[in-house]
Amino acid sequence: MQEAVQAGERVLQTLYAARDKLGSARNWGIFDMLGGGFISDLVKHSKMNDASALMEQAKSDIQRFQRELRDVQVSLDLRMEIGSFLSFADFFLDGLVADYMVQSKITDAREQVDDAINRIEKILADVKNRMNAEVY
């Protein structure tokens, strides 16, 4: 169970980092829409790329977490949610032209990351409670 807890905490660290990058990208996007220019656009896309890389890391972290949970007979059925919540990386490859469309995609991705964080936190709390119950 300890390995499952460690794997879940790793997932959360990656998701928190992705959420931070998306928040930064959103802020730069707002600045860009207000006339920030080339530099703000460059920084915004850099933050989006960083978030995308973190989401790829989160995907493998979640898969490890799922394996560890199976070892302790705890089910984690996030396959559909993970698929949709990770699909935001595809949005960044579509060559979106309008800044407001990019902002919308960043906001959607941030909401999906927040949802995943909430789900992982709940599952992790359940595993920790179960582990504590077995100790006593």
Region of residue 76 (left: phi > 0; alpha: psi -120 to 50; beta: else): beta
Angle (CA) 87-92-94 rounded to 5° is 100
* Length, in residues, of the chain: 136
CB atoms within 10 A of CB 23: 15
Report how many domains make up the chain: 1
In whole angstroms, give the CA distance from residue 131 to residue 121. 15
**In CATH, what number is assigned to the domain containing residue 108?**
1.20.120
pLDDT at position 61 is: 92
pLDDT digits (tens, 9 = 90+) for 61-98: 988 988 888 877 766 555 433 334 434 444 444 444 55
Supply the range of the domain harboring residue 128: 1-134
Which pLDDT score, from 0 to 100, does residue 63 have?
87
pTM attached to this predicted model = 0.76
Tens digit of each residue's pLDDT (9 = 90 or more) over 17-65: 999 999 999 998 888 777 777 788 788 888 988 988 898 899 889 889 8
SS3 1: coil
CA distance 47 to 32: 13
